Structure 1
Amino acid sequence: MKGLLLLALSTLFCWVSADIRCHSCYKVPVLGCVDRQSCLLEPNQQCLTTNVYLGKMWVFSNLRCGTPEEPCREAFNQTNHKLGLTYNTTCCRKDSCNSANPRPTSAVALVLTSLAGLGLWLLH
């Protein structure tokens, strides 16, 4: 009887844990998540969050599900020297673990982010 109960509980746990959802959006200052969705995590993959900074100022974040083609690879302080941007990517594997809550942003940061975006657009 204990074996049957254990089997039933483990089957239920596997069924419940199979449906892990991640947040999926581009998060920008003031607006928060743009194009907010959720994605169903594929087996053996992780949710990921990539935060992009210009110096110490947060510019935007990309939240999504990892895929076999683009799996999550944690990385800290990866720098694009041409654009002066720094990327930090974190991975997690729990339901909604890559939070989509907007970051608080000051008015000065908003102006600087806008100028940085304009500069990047002009470089492109």
Structure 2
Amino acid sequence: MNAEAQTYIDAIAPEHRPLFDRVHRLILAAYPEADVVLAYGMPTYRVGARGLHVGVWRHGVSLYGWDQDAGADLLARHPELLSGRGTIRLRSQEALDVTDEELGALVRASLGPEGS
């Protein structure tokens, strides 16, 4: 992890840190080799040419750059998570209803080899 990304993570507000840590843990469990850098002002997990951006905001955590097909499956079960085109917004309370398996599937589809 580069120093800029670590500084961002260290500054996350305590009320959002558990949710961020959950997403971070799921990404690194699937891709321990992921590079964590700061891009677009937020931690970005890079695996090869693919990337997943994870930003922390007032509401909780937002995901950008996710796989649209995997996102469709997740959003069919949790339509309230879609916030504009290309943004999955995980509010801390709503995230309790989203399983690690659902988030993990999104992560694997977003960072895995194309077509997998």
TM-score by length of 2: 0.27
| TM-score (structure 1 length as normaliser) | 0.26
**Radius of gyration: which is bigger?**
1
1 or 2, which has the higher helix percentage? 2
